[in-house]
């Protein structure tokens, strides 16, 4: 008679047969235990009963401001656009700023770095126009002198 527990030499299992037990050794685990006391609800309630304050909610100073006209989604879109523009820069330039868009924006906002931006190819050199009264621009000066003499003769 054939063995009913095996089909072609492979163990045959059913819902009613013997169960296979599997043990998993987890070791110490990956959860950080150094915050255990701070996050224990019993300790939080105990502190609240003593002091009347919940410490973990009071970590940041309250700020009140008129934010009319400002939208969270618009702010997030601005940040996303800045990140996209930064990611579009050559890697050599991004590396100069430790691949940090905030450092790059601080650098660009500083007016003393205008020449460096031109050297990097990120800005155009500003065109310098000749001041009034220079050799290259006699016409505007003569027009001003003509207008001054007309006013003097009328008055």
86-90 mean pLDDT: 88
Q: Could you read off the pLDDT of 90-136 as tens digits, one per residue?
A: 888 899 999 999 999 899 889 898 888 888 888 888 777 766 655 55
- The DSSP 8-state label assigned to residue 111 in this structure reads G
pLDDT of residue 100: 92
Give the whole-angstrom CA distance, residue 146 versus residue 128.
Answer: 26
Question: What are the boundaries of each domain within the chain?
Answer: 72-120
- Which one has a higher pLDDT value, 9 or 153? 9
Could you write out the three-class secondary structure of 118-151?
Answer: HHHCCCCCCCCCCCCCCCCCHHHHHHHHHHHHHH
């Amino acid at each position: 008679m054939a063995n009913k527990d095996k089909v072609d030499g492979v163990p045959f299992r059913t819902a009613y047969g013997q169960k296979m037990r599997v043990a998993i050794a987890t070791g110490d685990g990956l959860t950080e235990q150094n915050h255990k006391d701070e996050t224990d609800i019993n300790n939080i309630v105990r502190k609240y009963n003593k002091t009347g304050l919940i410490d973990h909610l009071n970590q940041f100073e309250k700020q009140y401001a008129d934010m009319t006209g400002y939208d969270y989604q618009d702010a997030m879109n601005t940040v996303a656009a800045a990140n996209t523009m930064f990611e579009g820069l050559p890697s050599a330039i991004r590396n100069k700023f430790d691949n940090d868009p905030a450092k790059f924006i601080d650098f660009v906002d500083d007016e003393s770095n205008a020449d460096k931006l031109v050297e990097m190819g990120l800005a155009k050199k500003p065109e310098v126009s000749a001041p009034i009264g220079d050799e290259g621009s006699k016409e505007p000066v003569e027009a001003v002198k003509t207008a001054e003499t007309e006013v003097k003769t009328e008055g």
